[in-house]
Amino acid sequence: MAHNDADLTTRPSVSVHAPGTTSAGVMESTAPVMQLRDVSVYYGSYEAVRGTSMPIQQNQVTAMIGPSGCGKSTVLRALNRMNDPIPGARVSGEVLYHGQDLYAKDVDPIQVRRRIGMVFQKPNPFPKSIFDNVAYGLRINGIKGRLDDHVEEALTQAALWDEVKDKLRKSALALSGGQQQRLCIARTIAVKPEVILMDEPCSALDPIATAKIEDLMFELTNDYTIVIVTHNMQQAARVSHYTAFFTAEVDEKQVRHGRLVEFSQTGKLFTNPADKRTEDYITGRFG
C-alpha cells in the first residue's frame, strides 16, 4: 500500500534536513517538530498576519509575545487549523509538521487537532463530570483499553489527580478556575498529542493558580512541545526556551498587519535583542 504523507494518525518520523534561517534571522540547529515558512493569514482580503517564518523546537516551550492586535493568537490558531471555520479565513505559505504541510488538501484537520491540541484562554470544561471531561476525547477518538487508567494518567500529568481522585463523578464546573484549566490540559493530553498550543492560559487565573500552570509546563516538556501566547512578558521569560516577538505594522494604505519582528532563545531576546522594536517593547517604551 502506498504511503500517505497526509496520514497524521501516528507521529511521523523526523527527517533531518540542513539548517535553515528564520525570517527573523535565527539559525536552526536541529530539525524542528513544526516550522512556519512565509506564513500569512487572511480573513477575506485582509492580511491579518504577514510573512511569518519560525521553527517550533521539540520538547521546548516557545512563547509568542507582542501588543494587542499583532497577530500572535492568529498565528497560534494557524498551527492546528483552528482558523478554518472562520468564514473567509485562509493561509498562504507552509505550516509544516515533521515536514508535512498541514494545509495540503488531503490532510484531515481533525487528525491535525489530535496531534496538535489546544488549551484556551478561559477554562472551558464541559458540563459533565471530571471523569467524563477527560474521557471525552478518548471516546470520540475510539481509544481502546481501560478508560480509568487513561483518565488517571492524564490527570496525574496535569498535576490534578491528587486533588480530584475522590470526586471524579462530580461536576467539573464545581472546580476552581485554576483546577478547571488544569482539567482542560488533562483533557487535551489524554489523547496523546505531540504539541500543545496554549492561548493565554493564565490570563483568567490568580497568581497561585498561574504558578501551578507554569510549573506544569516545565513538567509537560518531558513529553510534549508547547507553544504559548502570553501578554505577560515576565511569564514568557520564566517559562519559555524560545520567544517570538510580534508587532503590528501599518502599510502605505494605513492598514495594520501582524508581523514577526524577532525570534530567538528567550534569554538572548530579553537581554540582548537584535531589533530596536523588541528592545522598546520589553523595556516598556511602546506597546
pLDDT tens column, 129-158: 999 999 998 898 787 778 999 999 999 999
Q: Which of 32, 103, 113 is nearest to 80 (CA)?
A: 113
**Mean pLDDT calculated for residue range 191-217:** 94
**Mean pLDDT calculated for residue range 31-55:** 96
Identify the pLDDT of residue 21: 36
Question: Does the structure show a pLDDT above 50 at 15?
Answer: no
Cell of 75: 498565528
Identify the pLDDT of residue 151: 96
Identify the pLDDT of residue 286: 62
Angle (CA) 126-211-70 rounded to 5° is 75
Question: Does the structure show a pLDDT above 60 at 188?
Answer: yes
Identify the pLDDT of residue 8: 53
Provide φ and ψ at 198, rounded to 5°.
-125, 115
Q: Give the number of C-alpha atoms closer than 13 A to the C-alpha of residue 205, restricted to the C-beta side.
A: 26
Percent of the chain with pLDDT over 70: 89
Residue 286, CA distances (Å) to 11, 75, 276, 282 in order: 42, 22, 11, 8
Q: Calculate the average pLDDT of the chain.
A: 89
Alpha-carbon distance of 21 to 25, in angstroms, equals 6
Cell of 48: 491579518
Confidence of residue 1 (pLDDT cuts 50, 70, 90): very low
The length of the chain is 287
Strands (E), 122-255: 195-199, 225-229, 242-250
Specify the range with the lowest mean pLDDT, choosing from 50-54, 94-98, 201-205, 243-247. 201-205
Identify the pLDDT of residue 66: 96
Q: Which CATH class is domain 34-282?
A: alpha beta
Q: Which of 32, 53, 116 is nearest to 82 (CA)?
A: 116
Confidence of residue 252 (pLDDT cuts 50, 70, 90): confident
Alpha-carbon distance of 37 to 31, in angstroms, equals 14
